[in-house]
């Protein structure tokens, strides 16, 4: 998908979802059917998983699950919650396999896949606390470790969720105590077990529930019925709903302590504890077998007693899971394979061009409403001028629309026999819809861009991005406020934010004393910001959150300098002085990003912006550094093969925490190649170049 369209789509989705969620969770109003809101949220999560640098501060996806209900107590998760990345085709799965092989550095690795049905329910964590070890009833019996059910917590924002213990306790299949036989005397079992799963309501039970409810209060689907029931304040109401749960996860710390080495063993262990599991989980040896299972389940989907929206595929070997690790929000070792998209017909009512913060222009079709996968679709991407010409699209055309994976709407085909008389092909405008500047289409790109750095549309988007949650995190500086500030002539760029005064804000519509005070406090707080957040906030093309962190920790900040903070202008000078060769030496920084960074800092307007931010009191704090001895400072490592004890991700963390760098390729500048089992070509390259190769045990000794 075109990234600039994704940005615009995300912007629309998050604004609508915030409005719908506020009405539903705070004002107890349902402005749209539940399936519409749920589908919009799923689409948003998918897009932001694909493009994490497009996340905005008020995005509902940053809560991972639903917003927290103010009426329910909050509980922090013992371990942060992740969401699964979706796949929609065999091609997506093949790409996933290739990505994992590249990440592991082993082109010949063979995977086993553990598969489960993807229950469409409410994500839930069950926490069990260890009690004193029970004594065996007879000498012949082995001792056991007892764990007592402590609480149930919704996924919430991924860090904390709602404590719904009172309603989850009504699920009869969830044991209030679990007992683990102890052939583990030499292992240290944790004090808490955190078990994940989905709470759901069966289809038949939903029909009975709705039969007893007035039409305006009926649930649209089993998933929403489960969510509404779990959040009931009165457990007696939840008890009448016949809630069910399937478990499928155990926190990694506990699984390691128990010596569980495969996903299948993990599921078997949960089953042995008496926890409810879907019995259909299994291990398959090839992607062909996975695809066959997916097709068979798709045929049986409607006959199942509960809703599913696909299957979950996980690498069975937990050591490989650790080596593969996770992105900011999703495990690399798993995918949710969604069922095929629904298709429908809609009429194109109009086409508009949207302006992105990089100047990219995205054409969007406004459609007559069409129901797809339980949602009302009224907009779809047309991608770019080439795609519009290829399909010969006219305003008024009836088109086939589909939502890839039940999520992303797109125009697939024009039904020319239904074209109104007199229709003419849509001609791509030559000028920016925001500022009127002649659009440009750079060589080799399909996207048109507005080259005007002062374009009002681009400027607004850049300021919104600057203030967003993962950037400067200036609360209260959303779209409406940014629009009001620009329209009122109070700001022209992000630097002006730090010169706003109380009288100026009080002159804005709807701005009273308290709102003004809160915004000024948030601006004051943003004057001292983490370096990686600041770099991300600048909105440099191709520099997302992860890249910003890389730049902050590996290139811009010198932990040996003794300086506690940097000014924006100083940061600019450092970036100017970094050579392209140095940039490209950092794992994760490519030619396009490096060139984009150099071009950005060479622009005089951007240099003036940094100076304005500095004059406004903005200072960047040192990134968090490890208290460990920096024994690897200035050293570059390359990893190859499987590390049985550590895992690749743990090894990378150990290197970075001690001041070292991790590169993906071996060169003369490589200091060490950490060699695991079944090493790849990197070991051969290291031998040719005379680079020192070390094994896992030696590496652990070097770490101290």
- Report the distance separating Cα 699 and Cα 508, nearest Å: 60
Q: Are 676 and 697 in contact (CB under 8 A)?
A: no
Helix residue ranges, H only, 384-478: 385-391, 456-467
Catalytic residue among 81, 118, 314, 338: 118
Q: Find out whether 620 and 655 touch, Cβ atoms under 8 Å.
A: no
Q: Are 455 and 449 in contact (CB under 8 A)?
A: no
Q: Which residue has the tokens 């396999």?
A: 97
3-state secondary structure 100-138: HHHHHCCCCCCCCEEEEEEECCEEEEEEEEECCCECCCC
Sign of the dihedral through C-alpha 392, 393, 399, 400: positive
The maximal CA–CA distance of the chain, rounded, in angstroms, is 92
Pairing, β 661-663 against β 86-87: unpaired
Q: How many residues does the chain have?
A: 704
Backbone torsions φ then ψ of 187, nearest 5 degrees: -115, 155
CA–CA gap between residue 667 and residue 547 (Å, rounded): 22
Token pair belonging to 399: 């088109």
Tokens 């000078």 identify what position?
573
Cα angle vertex 197, ends 650, 110, to 5°? 50
- Rounded Cα–Cα distance for residues 548 and 563 (Å): 20
What are the φ and ψ backbone dihedral angles of 73, each rounded to 5 degrees? -65, 150
Closest CA to 379 of 347, 416, 357: 347
Cα separation, 634 vs 621, in Å, equals 22
Strands 177-181 and 282-284: unpaired
DSSP letter assigned to residue 326 = B
Q: How far apart are CA 472 and CA 467, in angstroms?
A: 5
User: Up-side HSE of residue 607: CA atoms within 13 Å toward CB?
Assistant: 10
Instruction: State the burial class of residue 179 (Cβ atoms within 10 Å of its Cβ: 0-12, 13-18, 19+).
Output: middle
DSSP H or E segment with residue 346: strand 343-355
Could you give the CA distance from residue 284 to residue 297 in angstroms, rounded to a whole number?
Answer: 15
Interatomic CA distance for residues 42 and 46, integer angstroms: 6
Given the structure tokens 């100083």, which residue do they identify?
570
Q: What is the dihedral of CA 679, 660, 318, 117, to 10 degrees?
A: -110
Backbone angles phi, psi at 599, to 5 degrees: -65, -40
Instruction: Identify whether 118 is a catalytic site residue.
Output: yes
Residue 347's CB is within 10 A of a number of other CB atoms, namely 18
Helix (H), strand (E), coil (C) string for 5-24: HHHHHHHHHHHHHHHHHHHH
Residues 458 and 452 sit within 8 Å (Cβ to Cβ): yes
Residue 91 makes CB contacts below 8 A (sequence gap 6+) with: none
- CA–CA separation, 359 and 347 (whole Å): 28
Contact 440, 432 (CB under 8 A): no
What residues act catalytically? 118
């Amino acid at each position: 998908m075109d990234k600039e369209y994704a940005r615009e789509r995300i912007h629309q989705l998050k604004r609508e979802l915030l409005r719908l969620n506020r009405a539903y969770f705070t004002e107890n109003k349902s402005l749209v059917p539940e399936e519409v809101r749920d589908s919009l949220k799923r689409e948003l999560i998918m897009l932001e998983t694909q493009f994490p640098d497009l996340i905005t501060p008020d995005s509902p996806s940053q809560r991972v699950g639903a917003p927290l209900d103010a009426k329910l107590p909050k509980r922090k998760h013992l371990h942060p919650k992740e969401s699964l990345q979706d796949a929609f085709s065999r091609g997506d799965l093949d790409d996933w396999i290739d990505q994992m092989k590249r990440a592991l550095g082993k082109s010949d690795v063979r995977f086993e896949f553990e598969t489960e049905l993807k229950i469409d329910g409410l994500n839930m964590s069950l926490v069990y606390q260890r009690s004193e070890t029970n004594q065996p009833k007879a000498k012949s019996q082995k001792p056991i470790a007892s764990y007592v059910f402590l609480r149930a917590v919704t996924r919430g924002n991924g860090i904390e969720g709602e404590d719904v213990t009172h309603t989850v306790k009504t699920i009869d299949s969830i044991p209030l105590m679990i007992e683990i036989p102890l052939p583990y005397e030499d292992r240290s079992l944790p004090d808490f077990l955190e078990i994940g799963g989905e709470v759901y309501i069966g289809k038949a039970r939903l029909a009975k529930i709705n039969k007893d409810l007035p039409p305006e209060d009926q649930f649209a689907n089993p998933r929403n019925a489960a969510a509404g029931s779990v959040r009931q304040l009165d457990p007696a109401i939840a008890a009448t709903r016949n809630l069910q749960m399937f478990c499928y996860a155990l926190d990694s710390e506990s699984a390691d302590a128990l010596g569980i080495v495969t996903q299948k063993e993990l599921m078997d262990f949960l089953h042995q504890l008496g926890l409810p599991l879907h019995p259909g989980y299994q291990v398959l040896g090839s992607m062909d077998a996975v695809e066959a299972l997916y097709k068979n389940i798709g045929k049986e989907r409607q006959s199942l007693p509960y809703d599913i929206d696909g299957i979950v595929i996980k690498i069975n070997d937990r050591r490989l899971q650790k080596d593969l690790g996770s992105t900011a929000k999703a495990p690399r070792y798993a995918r949710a394979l969604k069922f095929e998209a629904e298709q429908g017909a809609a009429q194109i009512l109009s086409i508009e061009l949207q302006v992105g913060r990089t100047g990219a222009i995205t054409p969007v079709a406004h459609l007559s409403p069409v129901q797809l996968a339980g949602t009302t679709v009224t907009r779809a991407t047309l991608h770019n001028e080439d795609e519009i010409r290829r399909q010969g699209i006219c305003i008024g055309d009836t088109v086939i629309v589909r939502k890839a994976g039940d999520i992303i709407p797109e125009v697939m085909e024009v039904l020319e026999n239904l074209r109104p008389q007199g229709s003419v092909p849509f001609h791509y405008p030559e000028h920016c819809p925001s500022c009127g500047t002649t659009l440009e289409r750079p060589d080799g790109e399909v996207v048109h861009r507005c080259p005007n750095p002062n374009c009002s549309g681009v400027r607004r988007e850049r300021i919104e991005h600057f203030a967003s949650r993962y950037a400067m995190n200036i609360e209260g500086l959303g779209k409406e406020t940014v629009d009001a500030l620009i329209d009122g002539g109070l700001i022209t760029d992000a630097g002006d934010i730090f010169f706003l005064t109380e009288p100026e804000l009080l002159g804005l519509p709807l701005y009273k004393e308290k709102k003004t005070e809160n915004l000024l406090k948030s601006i004051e707080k943003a004057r001292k910001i983490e370096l990686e957040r600041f770099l991300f906030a600048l909105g440099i093309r191709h520099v997302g959150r992860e890249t910003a962190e890389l730049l902050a920790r590996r290139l811009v900040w010198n932990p040996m300098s003794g300086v506690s903070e940097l000014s924006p202008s100083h940061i600019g000078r450092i970036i100017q002085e970094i050579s392209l060769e140095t940039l490209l030496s950092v794992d994760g920084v490519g030619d396009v990003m490096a060139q984009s960074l150099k071009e950005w800092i060479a622009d005089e307007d951007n240099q003036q912006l940094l100076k304005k931010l500095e004059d406004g009191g903005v200072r960047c704090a040192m990134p968090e550094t490890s208290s460990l001895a920096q024994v690897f400072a200035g050293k570059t490592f390359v990893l190859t093969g499987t590390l049985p004890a550590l895992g690749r991700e743990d090894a990378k963390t150990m290197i970075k925490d001690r001041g070292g760098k991790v590169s993906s390729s071996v060169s003369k500048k490589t200091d060490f190649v950490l060699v695991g089992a079944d090493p790849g070509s990197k070991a051969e390259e290291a031998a040719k170049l005379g680079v020192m190769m070390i094994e896992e045990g030696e590496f652990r000794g070097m770490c101290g």
